[in-house]
Amino acid sequence: MTSPTPPLPAAPGQPGAVIRTQYMVLVAVSLCHMINDVMQSLLAAIYPLLQAEFALSFTQIGLMTLAFMGTASVLQPLIGQFIDRRPMPHSLAAGMGATLLGLIFLAMGPSYGWLLAGATLIGIGSAVFHPEASRVARAAAGGKYGTAQSLFQVGGNTGHALGPLLAAFIVVPLGRAAVGAFAALALVGMAILAAVGRWHEGQRRAAATRPAPAVATALPRRKVVLAISILAFLVFSKNIYTVSISSYYIFFLIERFDLSTQAAQVMLFVFLGAAALGVMLGGVIGDRFGARWVIWFSILGTLPFSLLLPHASLFWTGVLTIAVGFIFASAFPAILVFAQELVPGRVGLIAGLFFGFAFGIGGIAAAALGVLADARGIEFVFWVCSFLPALGLLTVFLPRLNQAEA
């Protein structure tokens, strides 16, 4: 499984290089994002197994998500700010190594404390991977920043989608110890990331020999801070709703429709697969029409479907889930690109801030929704969360950065 990876394109400024979108690099980092997030998504996908084996409450399940997402939330902005000043391309492989170790803890841990430690290590791996990988995607974009960000993120969404499916057909039949077998994927990812790190190091050195581009933004600082705050609030609403599905959708389907665990995990795969497609198209459309327009469509376009979802039959729950996953997921690449344009030259910080904020809000929301589910029931949780996309109205206060967004 650890066969040599193909050579990556030369960095701009090196012999044979041209200034264009480096799709081979983008595909490589997207593939690693998929591997990284397959391993991460197994955490939520095996919650029913862990609940049965360790007699966990919804609150304890929420705390595991908090351990994973909270760790990633705190560390990602700090790591992003650090690598903007001192890039560390070779840290990518180390981050995946932490995720590998976390999976082993989840597979072999004898107590709840070990499970929490495994979730925390997965969070550390995510915190190291995402900011530097976002810098690689930006460097390889060739001006197509939305497309590059979408290619990078669609790997993660695909990984999240595959996790529940793999859990349903491999982990559920074979038991919790089968989670450890997925750690072998990390070896493939680490080999690819070593090659990506070498490319990015060469690209960075070549860029250092050229005059630094101007990084000033046309907007005053007050408007930049306001816009970043609005984008953060949109991520807040998006991730609370998303985590309600990723952490508790399986339990909702089992309780409301009496589905088996495997059938519910397949339904979760359908949602996450639709989200992966939405992420890809969101960036491409954003490059054509502007990120602000995509944000408008994504956040508010989800609202009618999310409001119907808690009241639908099993068939229409599946249909609405596809619509919600596809439309809602298209926002995040546009939000990230919009924020990077607001604060040029701070790609790592912005990526770390928004990925970290997304993980942090997701972790806190998972814990809070777990408490609410224990107190009022899982169906009540989905009814409350169905109103969250209405917060997309805040998009009206975002500034227009170019004519395409006018």
pLDDT tens digits, 188-242: 888 899 889 888 887 777 766 655 555 545 677 788 888 888 888 887 788 788 8
**Length of the chain measured in residues:** 406
Spatial distance between the Cα atoms of 135 and 119, rounded to a whole number of angstroms: 25
pLDDT tens digits, 56-74: 888 888 888 878 877 877 7
Q: How confident is the model at residue 19 (pLDDT cuts 50, 70, 90)?
A: low
Name 311's Cβ contacts closer than 8 Å, sequence gap at least 6.
none
pLDDT-above-90 percentage for the chain: 7
Q: How confident is the model at residue 404 (pLDDT cuts 50, 70, 90)?
A: very low
User: Hey, where are the domains in the chain?
Assistant: 23-209+219-400
Q: Which pLDDT belongs to residue 167? A: 76
Q: Model-level pTM?
A: 0.68
Q: How far is CA 60 from the centre of its chain?
A: 23
- Average predicted confidence (pLDDT) for the chain: 79
Task: Please give the C-alpha separations between residue 156 and each of 40, 264, 277, 284, in angstroms, as whole numbers.
Answer: 10, 21, 11, 17
SS (H, E, C) 322-343: HHHHHHHHCHHHHHHHHHHHHC
Mean pLDDT of the region 34-54 = 83
| DSSP sequence for 159-214 | HHHHHHHHIIIIIHHH-GGGGGGGGHHHHHHHHHHHHHHHHHHHHHHHHHTSPPPP
Mean pLDDT of the region 127-135 = 84
Mean pLDDT of the region 2-11 = 46
Q: How confident is the model at residue 363 (pLDDT cuts 50, 70, 90)?
A: low
Q: Record the tokens describing residue 138, joined without a space.
A: 């930006």
pLDDT at 16 over 50: no
Q: At the topology level of CATH, where does 23-209+219-400 sit?
A: Growth Hormone; Chain: A; (1.20.1250)
Q: Which pLDDT belongs to residue 207? A: 64
pLDDT-above-70 percentage for the chain: 88
DSSP label of 57? -
